Every structure is written in C-alpha cells, then in structure tokens.
Structure 1
Amino acid sequence: MAQFISALTLVVDDYDKAIAFYVDVLGFSLIEDTVLSAEKRWVVVQPVFPKSQHAASLLLAKADGEEQRASIGNQTGGRVAFFLKTNDFHKDYQTLKEKGVCFLEEPRAEQYGHVVVFADPFGNKWDLLEHI
C-alpha cells in the first residue's frame, strides 16, 4: 500500500496574506481557493516539486474563535514546525532574503546539511534545508 501525507493544516489570521506569502514569496503553487461561506475558504498551497515525488500541501485555515487565534504562530510550542527542503540552499536563501523573509539566524552547516531557520508572517518557524 502506498501512503503519504497529503496535507497539513496551518492556522492563519488572513487567507490573502497567507497566499501572498506562500505563493508570491516562497514560490508555492496555489492548488485550490474555494469559497465555502462568507468567512471560510478552502485554500491549499504546495511547494513546487519533481513530478516523481509527492509533496505535502498546506491547508491554510483561517482561525475560527479565540482558541484557534491563540495558536497562530505557535502550533508546535515554539519549535520549528515545517521543513522546506531545497536542492540549491544558497540560491534559495539569497532569493528569500531579497524578498524580505524574516530569518531568525545565519545559515549554518550541520552534519546532515545546510540549514537556516525563518519565520512566516504568522510566527511559525521553518527550516530551509538542503541535505548533503
């Protein structure tokens, strides 16, 4: 049986702000943006990836209620939540830096590869990562 994680929910405070960051800044594809009601949309974005691989999508879900709003940017208790793998770390780092991405540290070399932590506009921490 072939299985893979198809999507993860990311709670945000604004659909359009999230689309602007993930599509216009990170270069993800907008897979779907369907209006479900006056307040709710089904918004799915996905990194561009080789056709031979499966990439998980992000379901951008606007917070509904105080409990969900409180989780924005802290869905993993302050840990890095997401890992964006690249095959050209230095180029992607420079491109994202030029686009104003908020990097929380300088790039570093680890045993497993090159990595740098950045934050999305909602406060979620991401690793930009290239395995060596």
Structure 2
Amino acid sequence: MRHIALVTLVVDDYDEAIRFYTEALGFHLVEDAPRPDGSRWVVVAPEGGGEGAGLLLARGKDDAQRARVGDQTGGRVGFFLHTDDFARDHARMRAAGVRFLEAPRHEPYGTVAVFEDLYGTEWDLLQPAADA
C-alpha cells in the first residue's frame, strides 16, 4: 500500500504555525524535533486522520521561500480538510478566529466553505456527500 505521508507548507514561524494548526484547526502535533542546522522538523495532522497526509511545517530559509508563504498554490485552494460534521467544525473554527471567505454552500459533492490559514493560504472545509 502507498499513500502520501506529508505535504510541506512553508511558514514564517514554527510556534505561530503550531498554535494555529493545533488550536484553530484542531490538529495535533505529531512531531517537533530540532535539526542540526537550527531548523525544526515539525509535523501536524488532523485528529483521527488515520493514514491521511500530515503537514510538514517548514520555516522559509531564504527570501525565495519566505516570498511563497501564503501563496504556495498561486491563489487557488490548495488544501482540502475533510470532516464528518461540517456544522461542528465550521462553528469551532469560526469561534477560534479562522477567517472564512464565503458562507457554507451545498454542492453535489458535499457541504463546503473556503477558509484561510494564518498566512492567507486557501483551504476547503468539506463534508463529502454521503454518496460521493
């Protein structure tokens, strides 16, 4: 069996990103280990994610990487957070200060709303339709 284990997300600050993903989005901190070069290996993942991909939060090391923070997908939704209870997670995330760019909408594939992470990267919060 094969699966995508990690996706790198370039961030400005490790601790700020850890707080956002764990407190606002409800992810758990999988690993936070120092590296010999002074960087850290920081992995977060959604609670109950099973074999789903985690995020490697990587601090931008140079001007080119730092310039990509918040624009890693060219202004498109780049990440899709699936949930089994859209109303619960939407309400919790809004209460935690997550900025949604639209009202929830019902599509043939499920209930969805676009939100931004702390750097402006766009995500979908999505509860797939039962038959999807």
TM-score by length of 2: 0.94
Task: Assess if the C-alpha contact under 8 Å between 1:89 and 1:128 holds in 2.
Answer: yes
Q: Which residue of 2 aligns with 1:69?
A: 66
Q: Tell me if structure 2 keeps the 8 A contact 1:29–1:46.
A: yes
Report the counterpart of residue 28 of structure 2 in structure 1: 29
The one of 79, 82, 101 aligned to 1:82:
79
Please state whether the residue corresponding to 2:78 is helix, strand or coil: strand
> Gaps spanning 5+ residues in structure 1: where?
none
Amino acid at match of 1:100: G
Q: List 4+ stretches of structure 1 deviating above 2 A.
A: none
Matched residues in 2 for 1:3 and 1:48: separation? 21
Deviation at 1:37, TM superposition (A): 4.1
Match of 1:54 among 51, 54, 63: 51
Instruction: State the identity %.
Output: 51
Q: Output the aligned Cα RMSD.
A: 1.1
In structure 2, stretches of 5+ residues that fail to align are none
Structure 1 match to 2:40: 41
Partner of 1:131: 128
**How many Å separate the matches in 1 of 2:55 and 2:12?**
15
Q: CA deviation at 1:38?
A: 6.5
What is the one-letter code of the residue matched to 2:44? V
Distance, in Å, in 2 between the alignment partners of 1:4 and 1:72 is 25
Task: Verify the 8 A CA contact 1:117 1:125 in the aligned structure 2.
Answer: yes
Q: 3-state SS of the aligned residue for 1:121?
A: coil
Q: Tell me if structure 1 keeps the 8 A contact 2:98–2:115.
A: yes
Work out the number of aligned pairs and report it. Answer: 129
Task: Provide the TM-score with structure 1 as the length reference.
Answer: 0.94
Q: Do the aligned partners of 1:49 and 1:55 also contact (CA within 8 Å) in 2?
A: no
Determine the C-alpha separation between the residues in 2 that align with 1:46 and 1:60.
10
The answer to whether 1:6 aligns with 2:13 is no
